[in-house]
Structure 1
Amino acid sequence: MMQSPDPSVFLRALFDRAIEVADPMRSLMAHLPARPSGRVIVVGAGKASARMAEAVGSAWGPCEGLVITRYGHERPLQGIEVVSASHPVPDAAGEAATGRMLDLLAGLTEDDFVLALISGGASALLVAPVPGVTLADKQAVNAALLASGAPISAMNTVRKHLSRVKGGQLAATAYPARMLALMISDVPGDDPAVIGSGPTVGEPSSSAAAGVILERWGIQVPDSVRRALAGATDVVPPGDPRLSRVQNRVVAAPAQSLAAAAEQARAVGYRVRILGDALEGEARDVARTMAAEALMLQRSVGPEPLVLLSGGELTVTRRGNGVGGPNAEFALALAVALGGSPGIHAIACDTDGVDGAAEVAGAVIGPDTLARSRGLGLDPWAALERNDAHGFFAALGSQVVTGPTLTNVNDFRAILIMGN
């Protein structure tokens, strides 16, 4: 029988493979048509947008355009301007660049062609508040949304109704030009209307629905935001003629990355079970559920180890003042729930290399995680309660640090179950 690889090395290799297949230089090329004749404008936003534009440039040559990406995620491009801005809370750089992007698209004709490159992170990087709402107001709303534990679909509904660019408004600005929007999905279900808050996709919800979300999740917002949501907003409804010349296409998604990781695990003789690519929920709650499942499955694991793979987007309701993120918090809660059970190892990382509030992708755990932490005087339960998973794993030396991966297909989790 093939010798089993080191568990932590094996799990990291699965994560690296998941990122590799989502790289825009690979994933976008299969969906990129030949360069259209006439004027071509490339616009984009998201943590992968500069890499996506780089892929376009390698196929089409220098192009006119502007993309907005997160600080540190820039790429060298010819023709297409790259602007860096803040994520997950927007800043003035993003607001100024978004205004310039809207100006670039205004006044186009039906003979023009727009290529829109949208990936996770676009919701914060495309910043154009509705009248009466300031950048500071939007920053406060974003921070409150991120701390609320609300799912991404709910957060993006609120963002759309406070924006002049989301919810189909980017595409409406470019009308009557033809537009192809290529997207890398970081959302459960891969709905184009949710990716980056759907700047090229119609939005059926009302501003009242956004207000209901604020109430449901107890999100405190400035009075200016409540006034803006009290009336009709300018999101573009599905079927609007201004969307008639837009084609939206998802070019990379979590399911593809999980499938590639599964193939790699099977290549070394391991069994694989994919739990789903669209899991949502509170990170610590999902961790407890998966720990119980892993312990149950371990009773029947034979000589072939079993790998549980899952993706999606977990959330964290902020209770303490620590430094954490959904993946690190999942890993910490999983370690606590497993209680040092032998033979179970796991990795939980964000595929963009940034998990929550730190420039860290996530963490790995093993049967010795709790024992090693006690040897260092760390209290995993206390770290979990103050949302300080990154601090805990940094002290333990168990963080996964990749730097910007230049793609984003959301959470990646792998639990390796070996027989006792």
Structure 2
Amino acid sequence: MAEQQKDNQSLRDLALALFQVGVDAANPAHGLARAFEKHPLLPLETGRYLIIALGKAANAMAETCLKALPDGTPFEALVVTNYENAKAIDGASCFAAGHPVPDANGLAAGQAIIALLEGATAKDQVIVLISGGGSALVPAPIDGISLEDKIAVNKLLLANGYAIHEMNLVRQTLSQLKGGGLSQLAHPAKVQSYILSDVVGDDLSTIASGPTSPPLGTAKDAMALFADKGLLDALPGAVRTALETKASSEQDSPPADLSNSSNSLIGSNAISLEAILEALPMGWRGLILDDLLEGDVEEVAPMLRDAVAEAPNGHKTAYIWGGETTVTLKGDGKGGRNQELAARFALAAEAEPITGCWVFLSGGTDGRDGPTDSAGGLVDPDSLARMRDADTDPAALLANNDSYKALQASSDHIEIGATGTNVADIQICLIDRS
């Protein structure tokens, strides 16, 4: 037993180290610096640089951009990030706002961005620095929609298992800034965006709800998402009215003019997965099984267990995934998709045991999984026993979506703090059958 625990700890240490490699590979400052080295920012004859940084990586991206500005060029800078990452930045107006549920500070930040863009001229250059989380951090509701309405819609989306592109389609429809709205407000100024992707497939229209990219769909599409799940009547009245009004008029509306915008991708989940693969110690074989992992964690967990169960004998194998799963809330517990995926993997591995020594990690690269201080979970064959020894019932806790308490009981939380970056989630399963 002591030898097995020693082996488990060795695998746990390696899994955490590999996860950190993935986080480090998504360093936004390094990615943006490389972009500026390739295409330096040039002096403007008479205009200003208007810099807008949105998302969990906004601080590092804004600081890198300010250092890259040509000497003596006038500029204004607005930075909006989550509370955990907030700090003062010389030369910038900084806002800390709520995530994943928007709040009044985010509303104020959105109003400040709109005011800045309304003063833009053809002589100005707008630089937009976009990273994950920007959507919730900057609510800018269309006329007739209140912040409370936006919060209610956001909670409805989060509680009903919508995929990120579905949530952002709705957010775009109800926003002045999302779905290309920022670029339209910036006319006639040119807009150059640098984007750190936190979404599966790196769809630029989905990242932070695409403030400089075309919308994902129409108001009619947004209404269909709620209708399909029988949730139209759960919408605030003002929101339903706004969607119906937009849907009735959008057929006659011209497509959004984003001819003033250019977008550059500077980092992604795929880059992080490759870095993990390259960092495997000698003697380990590695496979990236999926860099587009999606789906409800209750269904995904047994799929991942089945994928690794046939690991080859006589070898040490690392299986790697990346993406963004979802959770359908059925209870009132505390947790996040990564914590729940890890705990459900442990249950699946107990129901159909995996031979050999193994550990499974699921973590968010932003360092925060849901509304908790945990980045995710790291489980091993003894995790469920530790939960039960602490007088907790893991199956009952997960039925209440209380993955945080389950992993707390087994000491299986990943606690790395806010990372200042976000390229979605990483899963690692290490199996030693050597």
- TM normalised by structure 1 equals 0.94
Structure 1 residues 312 and 218: CA distance shift in structure 2, 3 A: farther
Answer yes or no: is 1:260 the counterpart of 2:275.
yes
Distance 1:28 1:334 in 2: 36
Equivalent position amino acid for 1:350 in 2:
G
Q: Tell me the CA shift for residue 223 of structure 1.
A: 1.1
Structure 1: any 5+ residue segments left out of the alignment?
Answer: none
CA–CA distance in structure 1, aligned partners of residues 300 and 173 of structure 2: 30
Is the contact made by 2:169 and 2:216 (CA closer than 8 Å) also made in structure 1?
Answer: no
Match of 1:13 in 2: 17
Aligned-residue offset at 1:357: 2.1
Distance 1:182 1:17, change over 3 A: same
1:27 aligns with 2:31: yes
Among the aligned pairs, what percent are the same residue?
Answer: 37
Query: What are the within-5 Å matches in structure 2 for residues 95-174 of structure 1?
Result: 95-174=107-186
> SS at 1:307's partner residue?
strand
Tell me which amino acid in the other structure corresponds to 2:268.
Answer: A
SS of corresponding position for 2:51: strand
What is the alpha-carbon distance in structure 2 between the residues aligned to residue 138 and residue 366 of structure 1? 40
CA distance in 2, matches of 1:135, 1:41: 26
1:318 is aligned to 2:322: no
| Aligned equivalent of 1:388 | 402
The reply to whether residue 69 of structure 1 matches residue 81 of structure 2 is yes
Residue 7 of structure 1 aligns with an amino acid whose one-letter code is: L
Query: Is 1:353 the equivalent of 2:367?
Result: yes
Which whole-Å CA distance do the structure 1 matches of 2:17 and 2:88 have between them?
28
Using the TM superposition, name which of 226-235 and 132-141 deviates more: 226-235
> Quick one: distance in 2 between partners of 1:367 and 1:251?
38
The C-alpha deviation readout for 1:125-162, integer Å capped at 9, x for no partner, is 11111111110010000011011101000111011111
User: What is the letter of the counterpart of residue 418 of structure 1?
Assistant: D
- The yes-or-no answer on 1:36 pairing with 2:47 is no
Runs of 4+ aligned residues of structure 1 deviating over 3 Å after TM superposition are: 237-241
The Cα offsets for residues 10-39 of structure 1, whole Å up to 9 and x where unpaired, read as: 000111001111111211111123223221
Report if aligned partners of 1:51, 1:75 keep a CA contact under 8 Å in 2: no
Q: Report the AA paired with residue 324 of structure 1.
A: G
Residue 404 in structure 1 maps to residue 418 in structure 2: yes
**Aligned-partner Cα distance in 2 for 1:206–1:163:** 12
Number of aligned residues: 412
Q: Which residue of 1 aligns with 2:260?
A: 245
> 2:284, 2:344 → 1: CA distance?
25
Measure how far apart 1:164 and its partner are: 0.9
Where 1:231 maps in the other structure, the secondary structure is: helix
What RMSD over aligned residues (CA atoms) do the two structures have, in Å?
2.0
- 1:47-68 deviation line (CA, Å, top 9, x unaligned): 1112211221233379421011
Q: 2:193 corresponds to which letter in structure 1?
A: A
Aligned 8 A contact 2:357 2:432 in 1: yes
Distance 1:315 1:204, change over 3 A: closer
Q: Which amino acid aligns with 1:260?
A: A
Q: 1:67, 1:40 → 2: CA distance?
A: 14
* SS at structure 1 position matched to 2:291: strand
Higher mean displacement: 318-327 or 339-348 = 339-348
Q: Which residue of 1 aligns with 2:57?
A: 48
Deviation at 1:69, TM superposition (A): 0.5
Partner deviation per Cα, 1:74-124 (whole Å, 9 max, x = no partner):
244221211000001101111011111111011322221111011111111
Greater Cα offset, 327-336 or 352-361: 352-361
Which amino acid in the other structure matches residue 112 of structure 1? D
Partners of 1:362 and 1:238 in 2: how far apart?
Answer: 44
Equivalent residues in 2 for 1:213-232, closer than 5 Å: 213-219=225-231, 220-232=234-246
CA distance 1:55–1:218, shift in 2 (3 Å): farther
* Structure 2 counterpart of 1:37, one-letter code: P
- 1:336 maps to what in 2? 347
* Cα deviation 1:161-197 (Å, max 9, x = unaligned): 1111111010111111111111111111101000000
Q: Aligned residue for 2:3?
A: none
Separation in structure 1 between the aligned mates of residue 139 and residue 107 of structure 2, nearest angstrom: 5
> Which amino acid in the other structure matches residue 323 of structure 2?
G
**Aligned mates of 1:16, 1:238 — CA distance in 2:** 46
Aligned pairs for 1:281-320 (under 5 A) are 281-295=295-309, 297-298=310-311, 300-302=312-314, 304-320=315-331
